[in-house]
Every structure is written in C-alpha cells, then in structure tokens.
Amino acid sequence: MRLALITGGVLAAAATIATCGAWAAGQTSSAAGSAPVPARLAEGKAVYDKWCAPCHTDSAGLAGTLALQTKYKGEKPAVLEHRTDLTPEIVNYYVRNGVAWMAPFRKTEVSDAQLAAIGEYLTAPLEDRGIGPARLAEIRAGGTGQ
C-alpha cells in the first residue's frame, strides 16, 4: 500500500514536471512574440508568464484552460489573456484563494505588487497585451481562444 502511494506520488510529480518542462522548453504565453507589450505592463506579463501561463495559455491540454473551456462552453474565452471581463479584484481573489484544483498563491510566491501588476496586465486593452493584429481580429470576431 505504501509503495503504491509513493509510486503514485512520483508519477504525478513526473507528469507535472513534464508538462511544465514542455511548456518552458518552447511554449510561451499566447501573446508572447506577437507584438510588443508596453513597458507599464511588462512586469505583469513577466509574472503572468512565470506563474499563470503554465496552466492558462492556449496550448493544448493545460488544466486551467481546459477547466475554463468546460465552464464557459465558448461563451467566454478560456485563455485568460484573451478575456476582457476580468477586473483586478477578480484576479486578486482567485490568485489568493484558488479555485477547484488551483491552489492559492502565497505572498511569498506572488507579492502584492506582483499581483497588482498581473491584474493591470490582464485588464489592459487586448492590443496592449502583446496580441498580434491577426489574433486580435480573431478574438474580437468571436474566436474564444479555445
């Protein structure tokens, strides 16, 4: 029984590391590289890319994006960077409190200043988030970002 628990834990950890490793090895935030991000949003994007993007970009199979796809069924974008309905207060709440299997982030992981920067980044106009013109047109035309 104990061996089964240890083996299960090791396999779960390996799957998590593999997923994050694949993301870090070549997949970046959906907005990255498409257009420049204004300097005032650079910190928020950097913190988002480090802490949020591993689960919330438009890459296939990411837990956060899949959960939002299921929840919104295409009524809202599943990719956080494509949302226009978020507020800094909503971002703050979910980061500090978590939801479902998303654990809350402590202030030692994401400081209050960094959290404010994420909120500013995710509530900025889409064109300021580094989303390129073609993708921006698709999102505005109703493409939900998965």
Q: pLDDT per residue over 51-108, tens digit each? A: 999 999 888 789 999 999 999 998 999 999 999 999 999 999 999 999 988 999 999 9
For residue 14, being part of any structural domain is answered with no
Structure tokens at 18: 């593999």
For residue 24, being part of any structural domain is answered with no
For residue 35, being part of any structural domain is answered with yes
> Residue 143 has what DSSP assignment?
-
For residue 3, being part of any structural domain is answered with no
For residue 118, being part of any structural domain is answered with yes
Structure tokens at 85: 């309905």
Range of the domain at 82: 29-140
Structure tokens at 95: 């980061």
Dist CA 62 CA 70 (whole Å):
12
In percent, the amount of the chain with pLDDT more than 90 equals 54
For residue 23, being part of any structural domain is answered with no
For residue 103, being part of any structural domain is answered with yes
Count the Cβ atoms, other than its own, within 10 Å of residue 146.
19
**One-letter identity of residue 15:** A
pTM over 0.85: no
Domains in the chain, number: 1
- Please identify which residue in the block is written with the tokens 């090791």: 10
Residue 132: predicted pLDDT? 77
For residue 7, being part of any structural domain is answered with no
Can you tell me whether residue 24 is helix, strand or coil?
Answer: helix
Dist CA 59 CA 71 (whole Å):
17
Which CATH number covers residue 90? 1.10.760.10
**One-letter identity of residue 137:** A
Q: Is residue 67 within 8 Å of residue 100, measured between CB atoms?
A: yes
Shortest CA distance to 110 belongs to which of 38, 26, 56, 47?
47
